[in-house]
């Protein structure tokens, strides 16, 4: 397969998450979920995202049925040789993963920002809300080895 076709396929497929851990935190059934997310635009990088998952009992007792907290944590690591696909450059970055955290108004997002000057991939987990933003975020970085970055423009 030609390299440009492989790069196109990598960027066309959205990241999917695989649950690798589930830790109960109280007697009403609230959990912390840990998911593995392979970056679809960067071969050899996997992020682990942890977030709070509210139980039905907690939703009924709190009266907030349709929303999970914005809290999350992320850590990204090399899980093989790193090969950059056609990733976006610039300070706004590129969305790697998104999951709904409420019925319609909030989502948990992971963005990748390529720090070209320092040859580092920056992964930012944050909540995205329609009404009011959240300052809750988590960040992880993966340093690139010489020759792994994108060619200079």
Query: CA quadruple 59, 63, 72, 17: dihedral positive or negative?
Result: positive
In eight-state DSSP terms, residue 132 is S
Nearest C-alpha neighbor of 95 from the set 114, 70, 112: 112
Nearest C-alpha neighbor of 10 from the set 37, 44, 41, 39: 41
Location of structure tokens 């066309």: 12
Q: Express each pLDDT in 93-142 by its tens digit.
A: 999 988 765 555 667 889 999 999 999 999 999 887 656 666 778 999 99
d(CA 79, CA 43): 9
Q: Express each pLDDT in 2-47 by its tens digit.
A: 333 333 333 444 567 899 999 998 888 788 999 999 999 999 999 9
d(CA 117, CA 107): 30
DSSP characters for 26-65?
Answer: STT--EEEEEEEE-TTEEEEEEEEEEEE--HHHHHHHS-T
Q: Express each pLDDT in 46-74 by its tens digit.
A: 999 998 877 667 666 777 666 666 678 99
């Amino acid at each position: 397969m030609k390299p440009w076709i492989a790069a196109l396929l990598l960027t066309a497929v959205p990241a999917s998450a695989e649950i690798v851990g589930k830790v109960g935190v109280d007697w009403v059934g609230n959990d912390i979920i840990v998911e593995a997310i392979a970056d679809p635009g960067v071969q050899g990088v996997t992020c682990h995202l942890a977030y709070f998952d509210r139980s039905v009992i907690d939703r009924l007792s709190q009266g907030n049925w349709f929303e999970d907290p914005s809290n999350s944590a992320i850590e990204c690591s090399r899980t093989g040789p790193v090969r950059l696909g056609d990733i976006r450059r610039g300070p706004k970055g590129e969305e790697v993963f998104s999951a709904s955290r409420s019925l319609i108004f909030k989502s948990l997002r992971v963005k990748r920002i390529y720090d070209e000057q320092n040859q580092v991939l920056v992964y930012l987990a944050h909540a995205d809300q329609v009404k009011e933003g959240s300052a809750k975020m988590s960040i992880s970085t993966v340093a690139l080895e010489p020759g792994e970055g994108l060619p200079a423009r």
